[in-house]
Structure 1
Amino acid sequence: MQRDCGDAYRQRQLSRRSVLRGAAGGLAAALFAGTATTAGCGRTASAPEDELFAELDAKIEELMAAYAVPGVAVGVWHRGREHLRGFGVTDIEQPEPVTPDTLFRVGSTTKTFTGTALMRLVDSGEMVLDERVRTYLPDFRTADAEVADRVTVRQLLNHSAGWRGDYYEDFGPGDDALARYTAGIATLPQLTPPGTTFAYNNAAVTMAGHVIEKVTGLGYEQAVRELVLDPLGLEHSGFFADELRAVPSTASHHVVDGQAVLNRQAWDMPRSLHPTGGLISTARDQLRYARFHLGDGTDPQGRTLLTTDSLLAMRSEPGPSGTLTVEVDGTGVTWHLRPTAEGVPVIMHGGAWPGQQSGFYFVPDRDFALTLLTNSDGGDRLIADIMYDDWALQRFAGLHNLPARVRDLTPGQLADYEGRYTSEEIGEDGTLTRTDTLLTADAGRLRHRVLSPAGEPVAAEPHTPTHLGFYRDDHVLHQDRAGNSLHNRSDFVRDETGRVRWLRMGGRLHRRH
């Protein structure tokens, strides 16, 4: 594992505190410029790498303007060199410069912290991945009684548990939030049998957080702090904003008519969702976390935190394959395994919460990691252009996405996929929301339209797909009306008779009517 270099690391810590104290005084000059740290351990600066970092910085600034993103923090590890930088402002109404030490919500990258904490319990012999969940939660119930008796811990973590995954109900701030949430899983319909189908499942990973509570006897947040955050020295990461108030924080922004609009309420997250998306962190801490997963399982002091076998287990033995913005060969222990044309796997995650979008991946075979944190809903397009397209991968790692050359299908072929598809989620107040999508044949592609509750097509939002173009059997590329790629992929899932049963978009299963 690569580690920070003694005195250089301590000097950066001092510099970091100076930046935090002095940020306001330099605001006028820093509002739309980046604050950066680029360092190596006993290495001279490499001109080609400096050019790569500069090219990335310029790309970020270009996309911030294009997608109405007020602030971005980036962290890169590339062949022994670290690059950290902040761009823009934390808040359009009370602007402070974003730095590598500004707090963002990392969203679903939190799942990998849940997985890392759980693997520490596997290492200690307190848990077994392929053990039934009921071994740890004897009272666990599901809508299909047989599922509760069969589903394993591994299936919670590789998104193959099979029940509806978008369950966001708020069970209050108390220490029983996860217990109450887990009890609520009994109300969720079973969509597919356990272990058979990849379908992104927030509910299952949240439940894994409750398993951690039961095994450790600690609250989820304290368990993750003791098992992961503190040993890795992630001093500016946690789950409760009031515990981190000494650290500058970003705000959340929506995009309205191409402009960023502040929404302070969007920052808040129910405690019942902490294991699936609640971590608050910085680009510096996220990059240190990435370097741990690139390494040999030791912490910054050289002590073993995870055995090498457990570290590798997190990114191997994937469950069922599918699509999640890009194609994935499946999910190991919370890490998605993304294939490339060169056969070198990319280990990835990322996250989304209203007004906060993040991306995170690393490539062990290339000693490369990248984390992007943004404070706007427009950040999803910025991240897609840099990370889900192969823009960064090809420059830093010499890797490319699997090819996706769209071909036209005949009307008869498209008829196999036409129809109305429905997805469902339960909101914070327990309300069920349905989203209906209509797919119709249109000049060799599928026209994609979201329907209102009355069944009428609604106007497409900017950067959402208007068409789906087929690039191989059952797999489609998201396109705009002109046929330009939006760097997102989806696929269709068939039932045992061979009939198209689901559209898997964003990893979620949309049921065909």
Structure 2
Amino acid sequence: MLSPLRRTAAAAVLLLGLFALGQAPAAAEAPAEAPVPAGRLAAVDAYVRERMEATGTPGLSYAVVGPGGPIHTRTWGRDGYGEPVTADTPFLWGSVAKPIAASAVMTLVQDGRLGLDDPVVDHVPAFRFGGAGHASRVTVRHLLQQTAGVPESVTFKVTDCVDSACPRAPQRVAELDDVRPLGPPGTTYAYSSANYLVLAAVVESVTGRSFADHLRDSVLRPAGMDGAIADRASARRRNLPPGHQLLWGIPSAIADGVDDDGAAYGYTGGDLHDLAAFAALQLRSGKAVDGRSVLTAESVRLMRETGRLNPSGAHTGYGLGWRVGGLEAPLDRAVWHTGATPGHAAMLLLLPEQNIALVLQQNLYGLLQDGAVMQVGFGAARILAGGTVPTDTPSAVTYHATVWGLTALALALLAGTVHAARRLRRRSVPGRVVPMVLWCLAGVLPWIAMAAALVLIGPRALWAWTPDAFIALGTATAAGTTTIALELAGAARRRALPDPA
């Protein structure tokens, strides 16, 4: 696309040439109407830049996509290596991987190698989630629709394992054996990446190949996503930069690593061209650039049809890998998904009525910044769909309150440790019961918080998703334990001293 200056210069050269030839300039053909007004695209650009600055996001890229591919792209900032972000800079997409993974599953359904209503145990006999009785009724469709009864809280038990010694997907499925289901299959919707980890095991059983290899051959390459990341090896080939997480409010490029068995639920990625190619494939109703069908029209329809819970008949708002609706107008008909891994975030929103899509990637993410970071995509899509510029701005209060509150508690308990140690060295200091009790109660607080965090999230996820909060909480717990020990030691010592004559 020529800049205004270059267009003016080109027009001047053309007019001069025509004048030199003694010819009158011919009437130019009217340009084809743009699918999105230029002013609207400029408004999206301005909004994205404003939100990027507000959240401190180091690097971002986004594109407005039509059936033929990107019609508007923008890139700003720096990647985790300090290099300028371009359309070729790879990011991780988090749960935007789910509609891509669901597409790979549907190619097996189209080929007759897998049925949506196949029991999972027919393909993964070791699947025992909720006991043999419950597991035998869980189908492929239940996993795709997030209605297998898997609680959201178990997600971190089986996901985000980036070490080379991590167990494969079929082995991780065993972690679900003793988990209590939320209800019979098909009756309760609960979003959990564990559902898609089990799907990876199903696909590997059916194909005899790794899920990443099947994903590449069935979806990524036919869709033109040649640079997409689906495992650790492809991440190395693309030289995937680390993502950023906040350390006491400062974006730091510390989030590195890929779950080698995570392509089905969150560890797919690539550059702006790759994500735009998948969006264009969806706008073409599953047809590849060369006209071949990656997905049939029926598969596309099924994927965007929300599940129905029995016996209530209520809809889940979740199709086969897609979130459908659930947003305020003018996005109420959108088909979409957001996603994040530690340090990266992405969004894909299809606007079927306008036959366009928005894809967006960022290299900053932490659990405590979810609302603030994700707002940029929702707001940009709202403007793109013809809505007003959003005025509601999610704040970072949750992040700052949590991190700085835990940090203050840690510093206070460290001060308490020093104070108790000094008192312990003084033989003649009289004991004061109330201050001792208060210090001991303060020392217990981080233990309560740590226990709750470990139960709800787990140590690996705490470190991966909230590193500064984890460090502050760990420091507070250690300082609290030391404070309690010193206060009790001081009390015991004072009791052992003889009464003054």
TM range (shorter): 0.5 to 0.7
Letter in 2 for 1:160: T
Q: Secondary structure at the match of 1:273?
A: coil
Matched residue SS, 1:359: strand
Shift of the 393–377 alpha-carbon distance from structure 1 to 2, 3 Å rule, reads closer
Alignment partners' CA distance in 2, 1:355 and 1:302 = 36
| CA deviation after TM superposition for structure 1 residue 354, in Å | 1.3
Which residue number in structure 2 is paired with residue 311 of structure 1? 300
Q: From 201, 205, 229, give the equivalent of 2:220.
A: 229
More strand as a share of residues: 1
Q: What one-letter code is carried by the residue in structure 1 that aligns with 2:178?
A: T
Residue 187 of structure 1 pairs with residue 195 of structure 2 = no
Within a 5 Å distance, the mapping from 1:275-424 to structure 2 comes to 275-320=264-309, 329-339=316-326, 340-341=328-329, 344-377=332-365, 380-381=370-371, 383-388=373-378, 391-398=379-386, 424=455
AA paired with 1:110?
Answer: A
> What's 1:130 paired with?
117
Could you say which residue in structure 1 is the equivalent of 2:251? 260
Greater CA drift, 60-69 or 103-112: 60-69
Name structure 2 gaps, 5 residues minimum. Answer: 2-29, 393-448, 467-472, 478-501
Decide which of 45, 49, 56 is 2:37's aligned counterpart. Answer: 49
Separation of aligned partners in 2, 1:354 and 1:179: 24
- 1:208 is matched with 199
Q: Is the 8 A contact 1:74 1:86 kept in 2?
A: yes
Quote how far apart the aligned CAs of 1:296 are: 2.6
Residues in 2 aligned to 1:76 and 1:156: alpha-carbon distance in whole angstroms: 31
Offset of residue 174 of structure 1: 7.2
Higher alpha-carbon deviation: 335-344 or 123-132: 335-344
1: CA distance, partners of 2:178 / 2:162: 15
* Equivalent position of 2:74 in the other structure: 85
Q: Tell whether 2:131 aligns with 1:144.
A: yes
The number of equivalent residue pairs is: 371
CA apart distance, 1:426? 5.7
Aligned mates of 1:172, 1:48 — CA distance in 2 = 45
Give how far 1:299 is off: 0.7
In angstroms, what is the RMSD of aligned CA positions? 3.7
Q: 1:223 to 1:400 in 2, by over 3 A?
A: farther
TM-score normalised by structure 2 residue count: 0.66
Q: Secondary structure of 1:57's match? A: helix
TM-superposed deviation, 1:430: 9.6
Q: Partner residue of 1:511?
A: none
The Cα of 1:130 is off from its aligned counterpart by 1.8
Is the alpha carbon distance of 1:310 and 1:43 closer, same or farther for their aligned partners in structure 2, counting shifts above 3 Å?
A: farther
Structure 1 residues 375 and 365: alpha-carbon distance in aligned structure 2, compared to 1, 3 A threshold? same
Q: 1:197 to 1:271 in 2, by over 3 A?
A: same
Name the structure with the higher helix share: 2
Distance 1:382 1:337 in 2: 22
Q: What percent of counterpart residues are identical? A: 28
Kindly indicate whether the alpha-carbon contact (under 8 Å) linking 2:66 and 2:283 is maintained by their aligned counterparts in 1: no
Deviation at 1:429, TM superposition (A): 5.5
Who is 1:469 aligned against? none
- The CA deviation string for residues 163-216 of structure 1, in whole angstroms up to 9 with x for no partner, is 234134449647960110112221323233321222111111110011011111
Instruction: State the alpha-carbon separation in 1 of the partners of residues 381 and 112 from structure 2.
Output: 37
Residue by residue over 1:270-306, the C-alpha shift from the partner in whole angstroms, topping out at 9 and shown as x without a partner, is 3243321111211211111011111132111111111
Amino acid at match of 2:50: E
2:91–2:270 Cα contact (<8 Å) kept: yes
CA distance in 2, matches of 1:354, 1:175: 17
1:294-343 CA distance string (max 9 Å, x none): 1132111111111100111111142459xxxxxx9521111011234469
Matched letter for residue 250 of structure 2 = Q
Superposition TM-score, scaled by structure 1 size: 0.64
Given that residues 232 and 260 in structure 2 are in contact (C-alpha distance below 8 angstroms), is that contact kept between their aligned partners in structure 1?
Answer: no
- Asked if the contact 1:358–1:372 (Cα under 8 Å) also holds between the matched residues in 2, the reply is yes
Secondary structure of the 1:147 match is: helix
| Structure with max Cα Rg | 2
Q: How far apart, in 2, do the equivalents of 1:274 and 1:383 lie?
A: 22
- Equivalents in 1 of 2:280, 2:149: separation in Å? 32
1:51 aligned counterpart, secondary structure: helix
Decide whether the 8 Å contact of 2:331 with 2:385 is kept in 1: no
1:45-87 deviations in whole A, cap 9, x for unaligned?
Answer: 7496222222222222212221111000101125876112211
Q: Which amino acid aligns with 1:361?
A: L
Partner in structure 1 of residue 414 of structure 2: none
